[in-house]
C-alpha cells in the first residue's frame, strides 16, 4: 500500500528567539518492508540542512538557522510504500529462561547495547512483576503475551509533555502514553534476555473509524523491536496489541527513547518566551509511481 504522511511540528514564542542547531529524525530508511518513494522537509524560518546517518544508521537532518523568529515550523512530507513485516515464527514458550535464548557470538557482539538494561530497578519491582506475569501464563508466545499483558493491564493516556516515564512509574500509575508502554515493554524484554530497541514513527488506521485502535491518530507513535533468534528484528506494539503489523510505519530506532526524538534542538531567548508546541500528523492513501 502507498501512503502519504504529513508531519507538522510548530513551536511558538512570545518574541523572536535565536535557534540553535536542530536534529530532525523524520525520514525512514528503506528496507524490504518499507520503501521511501518521495520526501520533502519545509522549515520556517529558513534553514540549511546537512544530512547524515547516526550511530544507529537512521537518516538524520541537521538544521542550521539564519535568523531569529517567534515561530518555528517544521513540515515533513513523505510518500512511502509499506509491505508486510517479519512475523515471529520461532516458538517461544512462556517457561523459556533467559539462558536458553541463543544468540550467536557475532549477533551478541552487535546486540549487546540492546541487551543492557537502561532503567534501574533498585527495589526489584520490575523483576517481581515479570515473575507474577510468567506465573499466570498457560501457553503461547512469550513476547506476544508480554505485549498483550501491558495492553490489557494499563490505561492509555495521551501525554504532551516531553520525555518518557520510567518503567516503574508506568507500572505504579497503571497508565502511560505509547512511548511509556514501549519503554516498559523493552526493559521487561531485556530482563527476559532479549535484545530490544525503541522505535518511533506513525500508525495508520486502516478502517475509517479506527476500530480497535488505542493510540490516538494525528500524533507520532512509538513501539518496540525485539531480536528473536532465527527471526531477526520483530515489531511489538503493546499500546495496540499489534505484532509485525503493516499499520506500524517506522521512522527511527534507538537503544533508549531520548535518542529517537523526531525533533530536538535549542533556542536562546528570555525566560518564559516559549509559549507552546503543537504536532499534527495526517496519513492518507497515495498513488504509486507512474
Question: Which 3 state secondary structure label does DSSP give 249?
Answer: strand
pLDDT at 212: 52
pLDDT at 216: 58
Phi, psi of 124 (to 5 degrees): 75, 20
Task: Return the closest-CA partner of residue 216 out of 179, 164, 174.
Answer: 179
**257 to 100, 165, 277, 284, 286: CA distances (angstroms):** 28, 10, 19, 27, 30
Question: Which 3 state secondary structure label does DSSP give 278?
Answer: strand
Tell the residue number behind the cell numbers 517544521, with chain if given.
74
Contact 183, 165 (CB under 8 A): yes
Question: Which 3 state secondary structure label does DSSP give 77?
Answer: strand
pLDDT at 206: 62
Dihedral of alpha carbons 180, 199, 190, 130, sign: positive
pLDDT in tens, the chain (290 residues): 899 999 999 999 999 999 999 999 999 999 999 999 999 999 999 999 999 999 999 999 999 998 999 999 999 999 999 998 888 898 888 877 655 688 999 999 999 999 999 999 989 999 999 999 998 888 889 999 999 999 999 999 887 777 899 999 999 999 999 999 999 999 999 999 999 999 999 998 765 444 455 555 678 999 999 999 999 999 999 999 999 999 999 999 999 999 999 999 999 999 999 999 999 999 999 987 76
Q: How many alpha carbons lie under 13 Å from residue 215 in its C-beta half-sphere?
A: 29
pLDDT at 49: 97
Contact 218, 203 (CB under 8 A): no
- Separation of alpha carbons 256 and 114, rounded Å: 9
Number of other CB atoms surrounding residue 114 within 10 Å: 22
Encode 209-248 in three state secondary structure: CCCCCCCCCCCCEEEEEEEECCCEEEEEECCCCEECCCCE
Radius of gyration of the chain (CA): 20
- Separation of alpha carbons 280 and 285, rounded Å: 17
Contact 236, 185 (CB under 8 A): yes
What angle (nearest 5°) sits at the alpha carbon of residue 280, between those of residues 275 and 285?
170
DSSP tag of 127 = H
Beta bridge partners of residue 225, listed in sequence order: 197, 235
Q: What is the pTM of this model?
A: 0.93
Amino acid at each position: 500500500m502507498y501512503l502519504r504522511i504529513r508531519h507538522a511540528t510548530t513551536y511558538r514564542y512570545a518574541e523572536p528567539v535565536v535557534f540553535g542547531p536542530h536534529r530532525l529524525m523524520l525520514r525512514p530508511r528503506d528496507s524490504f518492508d518499507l520503501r521511501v518513494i518521495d520526501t520533502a522537509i519545509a522549515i520556517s524560518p529558513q534553514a540549511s540542512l546537512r544530512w547524515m546517518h547516526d550511530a544507529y544508521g537512521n537518516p538524520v537532518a541537521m538544521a542550521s538557522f539564519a535568523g531569529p523568529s517567534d515561530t518555528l515550523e517544521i513540515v515533513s512530507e513523505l510518500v512511502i510504500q509499506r509491505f508486510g513485516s517479519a512475523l515471529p515464527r520461532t516458538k517461544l514458550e512462556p517457561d523459556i529462561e533467559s539462558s536458553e535464548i541463543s544468540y550467536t557470538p557475532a549477533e551478541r557482539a552487535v546486540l549487546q547495547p540492546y541487551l543492557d538494561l537502561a532503567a534501574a530497578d533498585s527495589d526489584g519491582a520490575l523483576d517481581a512483576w515479570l515473575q507474577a506475569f510468567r506465573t499466570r501464563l498457560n501457553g503461547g508466545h512469550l513476547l506476544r503475551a508480554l505485549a498483550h499483558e501491558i495492553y490489557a493491564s494499563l490505561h492509555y493516556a495521551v501525554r504532551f509533555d516531553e520525555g518518557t516515564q520510567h518503567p516503574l512509574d508506568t507500572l505504579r500509575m497503571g497508565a502511560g502514553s505509547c512511548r511509556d508502554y514501549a519503554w516498559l515493554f523493552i526493559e521487561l524484554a531485556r530482563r527476559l534476555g532479549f535484545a530490544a530497541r525503541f522505535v518511533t514513527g506513525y500508525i495508520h488506521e486502516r478502517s475509517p473509524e479506527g476500530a480497535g485502535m488505542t493510540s490516538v491518530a494525528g500524533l507520532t507513535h512509538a513501539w518496540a523491536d525485539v531480536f528473536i533468534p532465527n527471526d531477526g528484528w520483530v515489531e511489538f506494539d503493546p499500546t495496540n496489541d499489534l505484532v509485525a503489523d503493516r499499520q506500524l510505519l517506522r521512522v527511527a530506532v534507538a537503544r533508549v527513547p531520548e535518542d529517537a526524538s523526531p525533533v530536538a534542538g535549542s533556542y536562546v531567548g528570555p525566560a518564559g518566551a516559549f509559549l507552546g508546541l503543537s504536532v499534527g500528523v495526517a496519513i492518507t492513501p497515495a498513488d504509486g509511481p507512474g
